[in-house]
Structure 1
């Protein structure tokens, strides 16, 4: 009993300079639905999901333009390498990103991951041959340490009574991203095709007009 009475409450043990204690105080001060946190989690998960599914509508035509397949039935074979290189690289580096997030913080990994996703996606879109496309997809997978870090981040910024909401938000955003990704990829591919055709017709008319 004496030892119990001499132990100060947990609130008194919290240090003002302790990052974990500061997060706990912020969570305790919040009431109502955590809409801001939900938007953050959705954005992070969509950044992870869209690169996975957005390329499938135009991947066939991309490989065909590379002229790497000798026969049309071989296009799917090469497309499989491009599609799988992302997940292969991601499976190798996910644990490493988890260790980095534990050591240096979640936010740093999330900011680095989202920035790297933008750069790697642009480089993939600018690929001029098959091996560049495979390399850029692999690089995209290596730098994609978001999903595990996002789950850990969600469990930390949501209150204890909202943990189920936090993890279900991750799962829901993942599913929505898999739905939006192919539609967005197909739409952008169509816009690019139409724009390139119209630009070609315009310059052809300018250069060869009488």
Structure 2
């Protein structure tokens, strides 16, 4: 026996289905470049963290300064530098040492100087090139950043009341214990003319120093 559905019930069901269809449909069409559904997201302003650049360098150094014809003596001084790029840096340095003429006093009565020792001081402005950045291994499990660099510059040397233009060049190395502190070794030749022995000569004065640098 076939089941029959009454007309009123069918009409009610059809009306309910027609009312539900608009709620189920999603309009995915767009008008031009306008997005159909625009998310309402409140953006928060972010302040980027400010990390130190560590481009500036200050340090102290000490070591041996060999004055031509007068032997070697202890020297010390300070440096201030600015790292222009990862490869190049500029540096200003000041140093001094006390030079003795003891050797000449054994031969010449009264020696060369008016006193036993004379102060030699110098300052220079140099340009450096980090030619070999790398790492140095301390033991089997610790590695530290290192730099091998060349440096050259101009300055002046004051010695026995003479102020002479000085050219310096050399090589150095840095080992970074962290991002703001490094140990360094420098070997340089300071070239200037000097007239103390009756003849004006160009002299080569070798310097070997160690020091510490701070970066900020």
TM-score where L is the length of structure 2 = 0.25
Select the structure of larger CA radius of gyration: 2
Q: Relative to total residues, which structure has the larger helix share, 1 or 2?
A: 1
TM-score where L is the length of structure 1 = 0.26
Structure of greater relative contact order (alpha carbons < 8 Å, 6+ residues apart)? 1
Q: Relative to total residues, which structure has the larger strand share, 1 or 2?
A: 2
